[in-house]
Amino acid sequence: MNKESLLDKLILQAQKEAHPKVDVADDVLDILALSRQAQLVSYRPLVWIASVSSIAAACIILLTLSLNGATDAMVEFQQAISWVTQ
């Protein structure tokens, strides 16, 4: 028996078989919905961390700018004194 005739017999047997009468669409959709819900929950803590860190960065920038503005007069005063003392 050669390989082609064996393959032909297998093809005929496969064509005679009936497909199983199982409807798994609902189960698959439920599994997909659960995995999507798990993905949505998993990144929420990262969003909170990102928002807190961006607020902290904005506060640091504002604090730095305000300190630079407040110390500008002091720096000018120190330079004037150091120029006079030299």
Location of structure tokens 């050669």: 2
Q: Is 46 left (phi over 0), alpha (psi -120 to 50) or beta?
A: alpha
pLDDT, mean of residues 31-60: 84
Q: pTM for the whole thing? A: 0.40
**What is the phi/psi pair of residue 22, to 5°?**
-120, 130
What's the pLDDT score for residue 60? 93
Q: Which two tokens stand for residue 31?
A: 């599994």
Every domain of the chain and the residues it spans: 45-70
Which of 7-11, 19-23, 42-46 has the highest average model confidence (pLDDT)?
A: 7-11
* pLDDT above 70: percentage of residues in the chain: 80
